[in-house]
Structure 1
Amino acid sequence: MDIKGGEDLQMAEITQQLINTGKYETFLNRAGKGNSETILFLHGSGPGVFAWANWRYALDDCGVQYDCLAPDLAGFGKSSHPETLPKNRQGWMDHWVAQMIELLDELGIQKAHLVGNSLGCSIALELLLEHPERFEKVVLMGPGGTPNTKLSLELGRAKGFYDNPTEKKMRQIMSWFVYDDEKLAPEIDALAETRYETAMRPEIQASNNSIFATAAVPVPVTALKRIKQPVLLIHGRDDMVCSVESSYYLLSHLQNVQMHVYGQCGHWTQIENKDSFNSLILNYFNNSI
């Protein structure tokens, strides 16, 4: 399926297809196929989340210059699910790492840049540790999973979505992800409807419950210090899901690192400040900052 980015000639054409990636069928959103460098976008977690919801604006802009890949992780969206659900978070990580490497192999891509959001940041770090030769520059946006990451009230409520799932509750949860929910009301309304429909699929619920029943396994400081790739940390100062302290922790231990903080911004920098975010990561990948 082809999706046009609009009438603006500077917006990339986006395609969607299922790719055979070893144990999984991976649903892939792709923009800029044929460009010489690749960016792999990794989405976050939560009931009903999928890659398109996280990365549609970034695909539009970045696909003009880069081959941009935004897959649904196993257990999310339209990708398939593990036949046996992992018993811990590292088991899920092993599935996601294998899935992403299989995807790059299937597409014949030897090296890529990485952009992670929330859970996607943790997966990006695992990829850097296990397959460092496959990745170049890295952006981690709104990371959690660090020893100083606290379980916020907002995230705790999100974990309890399936106790009494309704579209109204989905919208309420999503309003906590942003700084100004009134300003982004049309965006939240549209996403809440789509994410609710996705979340209510039985296989999505089973995978979500399995993931949220497990605890994050922070990367040891000794391992963080061995990561050689350049890393750009991006965080909303007012993030109530994964607080900015998580990025400050990584800033303290990663070696080749810089950080950009947005005031009056929550957990969805790529949506709340989409134009600035896209310009920032493009300048970073283009070696302008």
Structure 2
Amino acid sequence: MTNISQATIKTANYETYLNRSGEGNSEAILFLHGSGPGVAAIANWRYALQACSENYDCLAPDLFGFAQSSHPEILPKNRQDWMDQWVNQVIELLDELNLQKVHVVGNSLGCSIALELLLEYPERFDKVVLMGPGGTPNTKLSAELARAKNFYDNPSRKKLHQIMSWFVNEPEKMAPIIDGIIETRFETAMRPEVQRSNDSIFATATVPVPVTALNRIENQVLLVHGLNDRVCSVDSSYYLVEHLLNAQLHVFGRCGHWTQIEKKDEFNTLIQNYFAGKI
């Protein structure tokens, strides 16, 4: 079993809880998790950290305002303000770790952060994977995501379990995995600072990246989406592959929003072949 280490990395403005495997490998992958009640990087990326550690230095931080990383004392006033904080956190983390250039994999919200990083610091990133992106002009607020946003109106383990079952295409098949993480995720979600940050993030509206900006991103991008994603429709990836200069798209059938878990073996093979220049 691959050893995954945990440490809190202090930088100028943040304390970042970092999950890491494969330290010492010459190429690094930064994994950026998505949003939602009680989300943490390790739950999103455990399988990827195990699968990719033989060849890559794998970094999966809790983002600012999530889980065990630091939370804002003064809440950001809008989504772009949050986005600027996440971009700054990532760059400070990479600087602290002396990593000048890394690959990046984003999931959901993490895709939006990855695109912002490419706009602001393109020289710091090599190849990019965007898995289950949203935040595009044709991204619709699904009923499933709307329910997730309202979790804290009447929070319970049962309600969180229900929400997580909507993230996957075959909830019966994925039940053991959901059951295995529900307690930790609920405990994290109920921490006051986590709820405060979550409420602030979900109270802000996504600001799509302008087409003119997408057209100027030169990094190679692999879009990965579940065909049956009910949280962020595959239409979002069709939009991005149309407007990004150097993009390709892989769609998994019979798969929801958690491609990295529902299709973990195929996903981890796919991204490693992509980073290695085989596809």
Please give the TM-score of this superposition, normalised by the length of structure 1. 0.96
Distance 1:133 1:251 in 2: 21
Distance 2:252 2:235 in 1: 13
Partner of 1:205 in structure 2?
A: 195
Distance 2:5 2:112 in 1: 26
For 2:227, the aligned partner's letter is R
Partner of 1:176 in structure 2?
A: 166
User: Gaps (5+ residues) in structure 1?
Assistant: 1-5, 7-11
The SS at the match of 2:230 is coil
Distance 1:30 1:238 in 2: 30
Identity %: 72
For residues 89-113 of structure 1, give each alpha carbon's deviation from its aligned partner in whole angstroms, at most 9, with x where no partner exists: 0000000000000000000000000
For 2:106, the aligned partner's letter is G
User: Which of 128, 131, 134 pairs up with 1:144?
Assistant: 134
Partner of 2:56 in structure 1?
A: 66
Aligned length: 279
Distance 1:95 1:251 in 2: 27
Note the 1:112-191 alignment, pairs <5 A: 112-191=102-181
For 1:101, the aligned partner's letter is I
Distance 1:196 1:135 in 2: 34
Distance 1:214 1:21 in 2: 26
Alignment of 1:274 with 2:264, yes or no, is: yes
Distance 1:228 1:54 in 2: 27
The SS at the match of 1:184 is helix
User: Which of 64, 79, 95 pairs up with 1:89?
Assistant: 79
Partner of 1:39 in structure 2?
A: 29
Partner of 1:255 in structure 2?
A: 245
The SS at the match of 1:101 is helix
The SS at the match of 1:182 is helix
Partner of 2:5 in structure 1?
A: 15
For residues 49-84 of structure 1, give each alpha carbon's deviation from its aligned partner in whole angstroms, at most 9, with x where no partner exists: 010000000000111100010000001010001121
User: Which of 204, 208, 212 pairs up with 1:222?
Assistant: 212
The SS at the match of 1:26 is strand
Displacement of 1:193: 1.4
The SS at the match of 2:31 is strand
Conserved 8 A contact 1:22-1:99: no
Partner of 1:57 in structure 2?
A: 47
User: Gaps (5+ residues) in structure 2?
Assistant: none
Displacement of 1:135: 0.4
Displacement of 1:21: 2.3
The SS at the match of 1:287 is coil
For residues 200-226 of structure 1, give each alpha carbon's deviation from its aligned partner in whole angstroms, at most 9, with x where no partner exists: 000000000000000101000000000
Displacement of 1:25: 0.5
For 2:27, the aligned partner's letter is E
The SS at the match of 2:249 is strand
Partner of 2:221 in structure 1?
A: 231
The SS at the match of 1:183 is helix
For 1:64, the aligned partner's letter is E
The SS at the match of 1:68 is strand
Distance 2:161 2:180 in 1: 9
RMSD: 0.5
Conserved 8 A contact 1:119-1:144: yes
**Which aligned segments of 4 or more residues in structure 1 are displaced greater than 4 angstroms?**
none
Please give the TM-score of this superposition, normalised by the length of structure 2. 0.99
